[in-house]
């Protein structure tokens, strides 16, 4: 374990130095002469949009890619390029956004997996257990060594990932979007751990695009844009607004939510339950969504938001309770039926559900309306009309693409989302289900999606906004509800809600039958 | 060495894949010819001469291609919607059974009425035969590869039973064969005194119709969407199960036409060796054609030429005609590999 107590005086020691790293993929310069230093005992935030080159840079550092130009020094020695093994041996540990744990093994087994020689018959579990307990204690990373990973919460799994790196004597820790799956409380606990780690002399690279977290946890911020290192700031000397502009390269307008009087009820759920395997996916959910309003749905992923989205999309059928659209109860659930009522659906998974990647843009644009005029008549598709429509949507929604006949899977995430938005908004929807509409998008594209949702709201649509980004929810929603284990809280007006309060509710506080631990 | 997804379309590979497949099959065949102690050039010359060297040979190739166009279209239609119909053989025999049931005198009608009727009935039989496995797939998730494949054996045994029972020709000297179809039911020959019959033109027409369905109709659009991504198709409101059922009807019907056309156009009666695996070879044809109906015609003629040419070659050069099977199989494997490379690139590291 490399966590010798730091003595404060040599905090400026450089532990990692990237010098002039460049990497080109075909015509794309993914990293353009990037140089940066990482000091002992600091959290360095690496900030940038998708495609800015963060992942490429970390992959080079960890040896998955070889840089075209440039060198890496760790602890004063040059790191051989293209060798993850060497990176590990030098004490560089990485915690990926998607965990790399074996679900069916225990915490202890996961931690020691890969550190033991293959030919030793008996493993040294006793030593490993002692070391794990020591690490756990030192850094406040409470885990049960004999629990199976499959039974752990997301926050606990992340602790196991960090322990795994520490167990391998990591002195430099890279965290890739570590808060994406955490509740606000879990995020706070993670930050506390990070502070303990740097106090002990570790150096941490924290990759994120969430500005308030970068502000909260880092000492320095490095901003990447289009492969270039565009700025380096001391966190204390900058603010969110400046960082956002640096990241995007131009000023960002904040979404403005104008107060408008509510329209009539568009969608209403009355005591809806949706059976699932084991426990119900939705349990006794009631909600009234009006025209001209956005209702934000908060919750840790997997607490019934997916079931709610399936229901409103027409994919799932309630086991009991009723769903009405504009006062009319729906008995037969079918996606085409929901579309015919003017429900627009922006699905969570753009690639797997939102579009058929192998079809062209124009084919995807008519996927919910291909049976109708003007796109087809008596079973014959009028490709000329389809192309006119596609060309218009592509222009109106600024979808960057080679043309309406290009394969959709070749679009970037942001452009794919614009395509989906264009398709759904073109039908002047009266209800919009937006499930994680901005996940993984650049700040520029996020702003665009927000504008479009607000425009639809002003035009009279009722919008259900499911999001794990609480900033987004609080910026856009008129009312907010929280989902927890398939149940839904009473709606709260936005002005009455704080992030902290939402966080507690997302952990189950205030839901009937949940012991109030706090 | 590993595979990486391509970030841009590889149109060039689409264009050259069939060519590479054909060349690869020739290279493997050349090696086999050498092993067999014959000159590869002599073998190829004999194959080409036997397949297209004379008017007789060329017409024979087209005659052999006719059922392959039907079964190739059947596979191409189904595969586009990711309905893995391996049961072309069974559907072919279903069509053939209808041809002898209705065409051996049960319906005394003039040819312009009788032939379309038999074709419709045959298509219906083949279509219904594929509907069962498709229902099991969409309703219960039963793998249609298994069910359609096994139905082939069921069907061949069923035909065998019929040929020794209900459909047995009383004048057949005990052979397991049906009665001959009546003159009104026979498809006319395209050239007097030659074997090539109207079925070939019907097959070309079927390919045109399939092309039209794919390119212009909502049904063609549905098949593509469902085939590429059933989840997204369902989310968009496309009735996935109904599309599957319609696809099954079309595919089964096309495969059955192969059987109808062989009986009415060429053989005249039903025997157990009506099809030397046309149903299976149709799968190869469809893959070589990259599921495109026009490609199916070309691929069917290529495959037929290999078989017809190899028969002639084995008589003159003395290399066994199994070499045709090897060539067709090599072409298929190369093609499948090439199609993989339209989506992925090979990365050396």
- Number of Cβ within 10 Å of residue A512's Cβ equals 6
What interface predicted TM-score (ipTM) does this complex get? 0.85
Q: Compare all CA atoms of chain B with the CA of A314 and give the residue at the minimum distance.
A: B235
A334:B233 CB<8 A: no
CA atoms of A259 and A464, how far apart (whole Å): 17
Contact list in A for residue B218 (CB cut-off 8 A) is 370-371, 376, 379-381
A62 is written with which tokens? 């960890």
Q: What is the C-alpha to C-alpha distance for residues B73 and B54, in angstroms, rounded to an integer?
A: 28
- Closest partner residue to A355 (CB to CB) among B232, B234, B237 is B232
Residue A508 is given by DSSP the state: T
Omega of the bond prior to A157 within 30 degrees of 0, cis? no
- Quickly list DSSP for A97-166: SS----TTSBHHHHHHTTTS-TT-SS--HHHHHHHHHHHHHHHT----TTSBGGGS-HHHHHHHHHHHHH
For residue B8, list chain A residues with Cβ-Cβ distance below 8 A: 410
Q: Give residue A8's pLDDT band: very low, low, confident or very high (50, 70, 90).
A: very low
Residue A439 confidence (pLDDT): 79
Chain A within 8 Å of B237 (Cβ-Cβ)?
yes
Residue with tokens 């709606």: A491
pLDDT at A232 over 60: yes
Neighbouring-strand partners of residue A343? A431
Cα separation, A512 vs A518, in Å, equals 15
Give the C-alpha separation, A425 to A421, whole Å. 6
Nearest CA in chain B to A409: B7
List pLDDT tens digits, range A53-83.
Answer: 888 888 888 888 888 999 998 888 888 888 8
C-alpha dist (Å) from residue B60 to B56, B197, B304: 6, 11, 9
Chain B contacts of A352, Cβ < 8 Å?
A: 229, 231-232
Provide mean pLDDT across the span A32-49.
90
Parallel, antiparallel, or unpaired: how do β-strands A220-225 and A43-48 relate? Answer: parallel
CA quadruple A129, A130, A132, A137: dihedral sign: positive
- CA pair distance A468, A348, nearest whole angstrom: 11
Chain B residues touching A376 at Cβ < 8 A: 218
- Collect all residues of chain A within an 8 Å Cβ-Cβ radius of residue B79: none
Answer yes or no: do A367 and B232 touch at CB < 8 A: yes
Q: How far is A289 from chain B (nearest CA, A)?
A: 22
From the list A356, A376, A379, the residue facing B229 with the nearest CB is A356
A306 touches chain B (CB under 8 A): no
Chain B residue numbers with beta carbons less than 8 Å from the beta carbon of A347 are 235
The SS3 assignment for B336 reads: helix
Position A161 pLDDT exceeds 60: yes
Percent of chain A with pLDDT over 90: 38
CA distances from B84 to A56, A78, B88 (A): 40, 55, 10
CA distance A85 to A313: 47
Rounded distance between C-alpha atoms, residue A301 and residue A294, angstroms: 20
Any A CB within 8 A of B14 CB: no
- Taking an 8 Å cut-off on Cβ atoms, the answer to whether A381 and B235 are in contact is no
Q: How confident is the model at residue A204 (pLDDT cuts 50, 70, 90)?
A: very high
* Mean pLDDT, rounded, of chain A: 86
Question: CA separation (Å) from A81 to A29, A227, B289?
Answer: 19, 19, 45
**Nearest residue, CB atoms, B228 vs list A338, A339, A359:** A359
Q: Do A506 and A155 form a contact (C-beta atoms < 8 A)?
A: no
Q: Do A357 and B218 touch (CB under 8 A)?
A: no
Mutate to test the interface with B, among A312, A356, A365, A381 (most CBs of B within 10 A): A356
Cα separation, A210 vs A213, in Å, equals: 6
Strand partners, A290: A265
Spatial separation of the C-alpha atoms in residues A352 and A306, rounded to whole Å: 14
Residue A117 has pLDDT above 80, yes or no: no
Residue A407 with chain B: CB contacts under 8 Å: 9
What pLDDT was estimated at residue A118?
60
Q: Identify the weakest region by mean pLDDT among A177-191, A254-268, B2-16.
A: B2-16
8 Å CB contact between B4 and A65: no
Confidence (pTM): 0.78
**Nearest-CA neighbor of B284 among B306, B308, B300, B301?**
B300
Q: Residue A3's pLDDT is what?
A: 41
Name which of A507, A359, A354, A317 is nearest A437 in CA terms: A354
Q: Is B175 exposed, middle or buried (0-12, 13-18, 19+ CB in 10 A)?
A: exposed
Q: At what angle do helices B111-140 and B240-261 cross, to 10 degrees?
A: 140
Which residues in chain B have Cβ-Cβ distances shorter than 8 Å to A335?
Answer: 234-237
The DSSP 8-state label assigned to residue A235 in this structure reads G
Whether A151 has a pLDDT exceeding 50, the answer reads: yes
Beta-carbon contacts of B30 under 8 Å, excluding residues fewer than 6 positions away, are B40, B43, B44
> Regarding beta strands A293-298 and A462-466, do their DSSP bridges make them parallel or antiparallel, or are they unpaired?
parallel
φ/ψ (deg, to 5) at B164: -105, 10
Other beta carbons less than 10 A from residue B102's beta carbon: 21
Q: How far apart are CA B251 and CA A331, in angstroms?
A: 35
Range picked from A90-99, A328-337, B329-338 for highest mean pLDDT = A328-337
- Residue A102 near chain B (CB below 8 Å): no
Q: Is B7 helix (H, G, I), strand (E, B) or coil?
A: coil
| B221 inside 8 A of chain A by CB | yes
Q: In chain B, helix, strand, coil percent, each to 5?
A: 75, 5, 25
Residue A12: predicted pLDDT: 56
Distance CA B260, CA B265 (A): 8
Q: Cα–Cα distance between A86 and A63 in angstroms, integer?
A: 8
Interface contact flag, A359 B225, Cβ < 8 Å? yes
Answer whether residue B284 shows pLDDT above 70: yes
From chain B, pick out residues whose CB is under 8 angstroms from the CB of A382: none
In 3D space, the residue among B233, B206, B234 whose CA is nearest the CA of residue B73 turns out to be B206
How far apart CA B349 and CA B340 sit, in angstroms, is 19
Q: Kindly list the residues from chain B whose CB atom is less than 8 angstroms away from the CB atom of residue A381.
A: 216-218, 220-221
Handedness of CA A469, A472, A475, A478 (dihedral sign): negative
> Average pLDDT, stretch B227-250?
95
Say what the pLDDT of residue B7 is. Answer: 60
**Nearest residue in A to B10, CA atom:** A407
Q: Which residues, listed in sequence order, are joined to residue A175 by a DSSP beta bridge?
A: A95, A206
Residue B288 to residue B295: CA distance in whole angstroms: 8
The band of A10, judged by pLDDT with boundaries at 50, 70 and 90, is very low
**Quick check: B242 contacting A, CB < 8 Å?**
no
**A359:B224 CB<8 A:** yes
Probe site for chain B from A367, A382, A402, A426 (most B CB atoms < 10 A) = A367
Nearest residue to A498 (alpha-carbon basis) of A184, A131, A258 = A184
Measuring CA to CA, which residue among B16, B44, B34 is closest to residue B334? B16
Q: Tokens in use for A362?
A: 């124009």
């Amino acid at each position: 374990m490399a966590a010798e107590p730091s003595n404060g005086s040599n905090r400026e020691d450089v532990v990692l130095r990237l010098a002039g790293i460049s990497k080109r993929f075909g015509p794309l310069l993914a990293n353009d002469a990037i140089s940066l230093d990482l000091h002992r005992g600091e959290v360095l935030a690496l900030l940038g949009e998708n495609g800015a080159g963060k992942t490429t840079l970390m992959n080079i550092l960890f040896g998955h890619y070889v840089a075209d130009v440039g060198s890496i020094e760790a602890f004063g020695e040059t790191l051989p390029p293209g060798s993850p093994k060497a990176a590990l041996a030098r004490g560089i540990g990485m915690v990926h956004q998607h965990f790399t744990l074996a679900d069916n093994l225990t915490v202890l087994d996961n931690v020691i997996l890969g550190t033991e020689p293959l030919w030793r018959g008996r493993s040294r579990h006793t030593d490993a257990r002692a070391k794990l307990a020591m690490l756990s204690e030192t850094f406040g990373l409470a885990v049960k060594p004999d629990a199976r990973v499959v039974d752990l919460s997301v926050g606990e799994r992340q602790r196991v990932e960090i322990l795994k790196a520490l167990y391998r004597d990591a002195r430099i820790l890279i965290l890739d979007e570590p808060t994406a799956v955490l509740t606000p409380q879990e995020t706070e606990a993670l930050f506390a751990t990070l502070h303990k780690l740097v106090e002990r002399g570790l150096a941490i690279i924290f990759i994120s695009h969430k500005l308030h977290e970068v502000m909260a946890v880092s000492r320095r911020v490095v901003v990447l844009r289009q492969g270039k290192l565009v700025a380096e700031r001391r966190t204390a000397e900058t603010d969110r607004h400046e960082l956002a502009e640096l990241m995007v390269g131009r000023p960002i307008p904040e979404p403005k939510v104008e107060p408008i009087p509510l329209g009539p009820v568009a969608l209403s759920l009355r005591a809806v339950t949706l059976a699932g395997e084991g426990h119900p996916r939705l349990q006794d959910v009631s909600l009234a969504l009006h025209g001209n309003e956005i209702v934000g749905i908060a919750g840790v992923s997997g607490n019934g938001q997916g079931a709610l989205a399936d229901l409103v999309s027409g994919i799932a059928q309630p086991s009991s309770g009723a769903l009405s659209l504009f006062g009319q109860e729906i008995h037969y659930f079918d996606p085409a039926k929901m579309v015919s009522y003017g429900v627009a659906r922006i699905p969570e998974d753009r690639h797997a559900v939102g579009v058929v990647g192998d079809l062209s843009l124009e084919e995807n644009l008519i996927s919910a309306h291909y049976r109708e005029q003007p796109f087809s008549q008596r079973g014959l598709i009028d490709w000329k009309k389809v192309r006119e429509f596609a060309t218009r949507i592509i222009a109106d929604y600024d979808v960057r693409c080679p043309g309406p006949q290009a394969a959709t899977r070749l679009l970037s995430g942001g452009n794919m989302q614009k395509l989906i938005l264009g398709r759904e908004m073109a039908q002047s929807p009266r209800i919009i289900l937006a499930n994680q509409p901005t996940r993984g998008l650049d700040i520029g594209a996020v702003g665009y999606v927000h504008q479009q949702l607000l425009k639809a709201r002003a035009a009279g649509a009722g919008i259900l906004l499911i999001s794990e980004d609480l900033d987004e929810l609080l910026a856009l929603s008129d009312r907010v509800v929280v989902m927890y284990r398939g149940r839904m809280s009473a709606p709260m007006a936005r002005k009455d809600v704080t992030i902290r309060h939402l966080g507690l509710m997302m952990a189950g506080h205030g839901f009937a039958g949940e012991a109030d631990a706090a | 060495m590993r595979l990486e997804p391509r970030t841009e379309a590889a149109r060039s590979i689409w264009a050259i894949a069939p060519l590479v497949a054909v060349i690869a099959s020739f290279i493997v065949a050349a090696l086999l010819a050498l092993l067999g102690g014959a000159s590869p050039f002599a073998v190829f010359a004999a194959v080409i001469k036997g397949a297209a060297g004379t008017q007789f040979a060329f017409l024979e190739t087209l005659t052999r291609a006719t059922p392959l166009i039907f079964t190739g279209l059947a596979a191409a239609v189904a595969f586009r919607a990711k309905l893995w119909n391996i049961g072309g053989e069974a559907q072919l025999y279903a069509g053939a059974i209808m041809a002898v049931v209705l065409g051996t005198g049960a319906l005394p009608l003039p040819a312009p009425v009788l032939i379309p009727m038999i074709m419709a009935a045959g298509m219906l039989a083949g279509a219904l035969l594929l509907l069962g496995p498709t229902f099991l797939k969409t309703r219960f998730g039963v793998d249609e590869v298994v069910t359609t494949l096994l139905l082939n054996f069921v069907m061949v045994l069923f035909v065998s039973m019929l040929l020794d029972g209900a459909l047995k020709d009383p004048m057949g000297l005990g052979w397991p064969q049906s009665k001959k179809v009546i003159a009104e039911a026979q498809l006319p020959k395209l050239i007097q005194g030659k074997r090539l019959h109207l079925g070939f033109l019907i097959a070309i027409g079927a390919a045109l119709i399939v092309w039209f369905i794919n390119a212009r109709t909502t049904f063609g659009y549905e098949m593509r969407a469902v085939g590429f991504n059933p989840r997204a198709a369902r989310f968009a409101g496309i009735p996935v199960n109904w599309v599957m059922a319609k696809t099954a009807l079309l595919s089964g019907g096309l495969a059955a036409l192969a059987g109808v056309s062989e009986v009415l156009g060429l053989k005249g009666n039903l025997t157990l060796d009506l099809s030397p695996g046309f149903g299976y070879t149709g799968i190869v044809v469809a893959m070589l054609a990259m599921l495109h109906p026009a490609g199916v015609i070309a691929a069917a003629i290529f495959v037929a030429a290999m078989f017809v040419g190899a028969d002639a070659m084995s008589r003159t050069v003395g290399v066994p005609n199994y070499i045709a099977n090897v060539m067709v199989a090599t072409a298929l494997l190369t093609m499948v590999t090439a199609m993989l490379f339209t989506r992925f690139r090979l990365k050396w590291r």
